[in-house]
Structure 1
Amino acid sequence: MLTYQNKVVIVTGAGSGIGSVIAEQYARQGATVVIWDRDADGLRHVQATLEKEGFRIISRVIDLTVPSDIVRAVKEEHDELGNIDVLINNAGLGRSNSPYNLPVEDWDYVINTNLRGTFLCSREVAKVMSIGQKGSIVNIASTRALMSEPNTEAYAASKGGILALTHALAISLGADRITVNAISPGWIETGDYQKLKPTDHIQHPAGRVGKPQDIAKACLYLTDPANDFITGINLVIDGGMTRKMIYED
């Protein structure tokens, strides 16, 4: 049984990495998958790969820092496909720099892409979902919303904002039967998994580094119509690392 047969799923930031695997997993469950990214080459590659397997994929080059791009894209998806059932706000980026030197332009770019982009995508898609009185939104945050490495202020602030935005939207959109949840990934390896060192895996209580499939499976769970009692949560998927006390000898 294909849970997402005849469902329409939008995945942002799907031109590579976690987003491309999320898109693939929804396609395997029968969904029509719409992939957005600013990377046109990445989108073409993902679309071609999935279409070779017979999946229905629609791609659009979208810059989430341009609000009119988002409004236009949602209207086009609605006009072509009808209801939008699932939105995965996966797109995100960072700019690493000392807080003493971080240019305000870099701060704005990260916040506008990660946080404002998530809000605008959610708002515009929710307008469509509300017509059918159902839908699910998942925002991909990060464990960096809960803990930090040096010089990641813009990224951490954007992901922390996504967590707050998630529970706020869950309350505001609940009356329209739209669930809104967040996933905070830890170390999810999107490169060559075989090149990881044993110490990379051993440091995780779960015994291994994460894979994009770990995040995709959580998305499938949270957006399953049978799980509509789950809303407003942040699901941390990090192999237990945020629960591990680390002290230097």
Structure 2
Amino acid sequence: MTHAPAIHAYDAQPLQDRVVLVTGGAQGIGRGIAQAVLGAGGRVLVGDLDREAGRACLAEWNVGARAAFASLDVSREASVQRWVQTALTRFGRIDGLVNNAGIADPHRAPLASLPLADWNRYLATNLTGTFLCSKHALPALAEAGGAIVNIASTRALQSEPDTEAYAASKGGMLAFTHALAVSAGPAVRVNAILPGWIATDAWQKPAERHAPKLGRKDHAQHPAGRVGTPRDIGAMAVYLLSAQSAFVTGQPFVIDGGMTVKMRYA
């Protein structure tokens, strides 16, 4: 006869002492994720092109050695290699990687007039950047039994006109997610978050920070009753990076306040 399953307490600090790397982590959703990691007890290395924003994070967080910043261009392999090595030199291990860096503006020219350079820029930053960071962090992640979280978008599932390059890059991130989950498992789990409408105005560097200009109609479009914030994405990232999601891999998680399930009629 087996014993009855025990009641297990939930860990109030699910990332205690774990080291998490966040690309594009100095502003917007990336900053929200980095702060969530710190709030969950973890340590974080933020990588970003904006040095001013990175320095502002460290000054405002005031968490000492638990947080660090290093310049990062995810589209350049040498930059990614230096950044990953910075994490290992500073912290000695890597338990989590959040591939968040990317071009946020989905709108470009109609496909017939879209320059090849624009198409390549979206893929190089959003998709190739995810590949490069995962490639170089993977050995340390495997040693630690870690996790990768890729920040895709609900635009991988639905679109507006003239967003082909952005949608293709984010859709590619979903395919990359389930492929790497199979290849890297069971040592490393890999999942994706698909944010919807997230208001990031208050999560920018000090010189560009302001309250979101949102009206009642903006919030009412969401079955949850409001537009999202980076804190909403951070909460899911903490779950996916922690042992609480130990049986979860290769999955896309839509965090959009219910917009993608709401029927709309013209």
TM-score (norm 1): 0.94
Gap change, CA 1:142 and 1:79, over 3 Å in 2: same
User: Which position in structure 1 is the counterpart of 2:86?
Assistant: 76
The CA deviation at 1:141 is: 0.3
The CA deviation at 1:111 is: 0.4
Alpha-carbon distance between aligned partners in 1 of 2:176 and 2:150, rounded to the nearest angstrom: 9
The answer to whether the Cα contact below 8 Å between 1:28 and 1:55 also exists between their aligned partners in 2 is no
Amino acid at match of 1:28: G
Q: What secondary structure, in the 3-state scheme, does the structure 2 residue paired with 1:58 have?
A: strand
User: Which position in structure 1 is the counterpart of 2:188?
Assistant: 178
Q: Tell me which structure has the larger Cα radius of gyration.
A: 2
Select which of 237, 241, 244 maps to 2:259: 241
Gap change, CA 1:43 and 1:173, over 3 Å in 2: same
Instruction: Please identify, of 150-159 and 190-199, the stretch whose mean Cα deviation from structure 2 is larger.
Output: 190-199
Amino acid at match of 1:161: G
The CA deviation at 1:110 is: 0.9
Does residue 1:208 correspond to 2:226, yes or no?
Answer: yes
* Residues 88-116 of structure 1 deviation map (CA, whole Å, 9 limit, x = unaligned): 11111146222122111111111010001
The CA deviation at 1:206 is: 1.3
User: Which position in structure 2 is the counterpart of 1:97?
Assistant: 109
Select which of 14, 20, 27 maps to 1:9: 20
The CA deviation at 1:27 is: 1.1
Alpha-carbon distance between aligned partners in 2 of 1:209 and 1:225, rounded to the nearest angstrom: 29
Q: What secondary structure, in the 3-state scheme, does the structure 2 residue paired with 1:195 have?
A: coil
Alpha-carbon distance between aligned partners in 2 of 1:186 and 1:171, rounded to the nearest angstrom: 26
The answer to whether the Cα contact below 8 Å between 2:47 and 2:83 also exists between their aligned partners in 1 is no
The CA deviation at 1:80 is: 2.7
Identity %: 47
The CA deviation at 1:151 is: 1.1
Select which of 242, 249, 253 maps to 1:231: 249
The CA deviation at 1:139 is: 0.2
* Map 1:52-67 → 2, pairs under 5 A: 53-54=63-64, 56-67=66-77
Alpha-carbon distance between aligned partners in 2 of 1:104 and 1:98, rounded to the nearest angstrom: 12
Alpha-carbon distance between aligned partners in 2 of 1:90 and 1:83, rounded to the nearest angstrom: 20
User: Which position in structure 1 is the counterpart of 2:30?
Assistant: 19
Amino acid at match of 1:110: Y
Amino acid at match of 1:213: R
> Structure 2 stretches of 5 or more lacking a match?
1-11, 202-209
Does residue 1:29 correspond to 2:47, yes or no?
Answer: no
Once superposed, what is the RMSD of the aligned Cα atoms? 1.4
Alpha-carbon distance between aligned partners in 2 of 1:171 and 1:99, rounded to the nearest angstrom: 34
* Residues 160-209 of structure 1 deviation map (CA, whole Å, 9 limit, x = unaligned): 0000000000000003x211000000001112555311010111111111
The CA deviation at 1:222 is: 1.0
The answer to whether the Cα contact below 8 Å between 2:71 and 2:83 also exists between their aligned partners in 1 is no
Alpha-carbon distance between aligned partners in 1 of 2:95 and 2:223, rounded to the nearest angstrom: 35
Amino acid at match of 1:9: V
Does residue 1:47 correspond to 2:58, yes or no?
Answer: yes
* Map 1:118-129 → 2, pairs under 5 A: 118-129=130-141
Q: What secondary structure, in the 3-state scheme, does the structure 2 residue paired with 1:189 have?
A: coil
The answer to whether the Cα contact below 8 Å between 1:27 and 1:55 also exists between their aligned partners in 2 is no
> Structure 1 stretches of 5 or more lacking a match?
none
User: Which position in structure 1 is the counterpart of 2:49?
Assistant: 38
Select which of 136, 143, 155 maps to 2:166: 155
Runs of 4+ in structure 1 deviating by more than 4 angstroms, as ranges, are none
The answer to whether the Cα contact below 8 Å between 2:199 and 2:212 also exists between their aligned partners in 1 is no
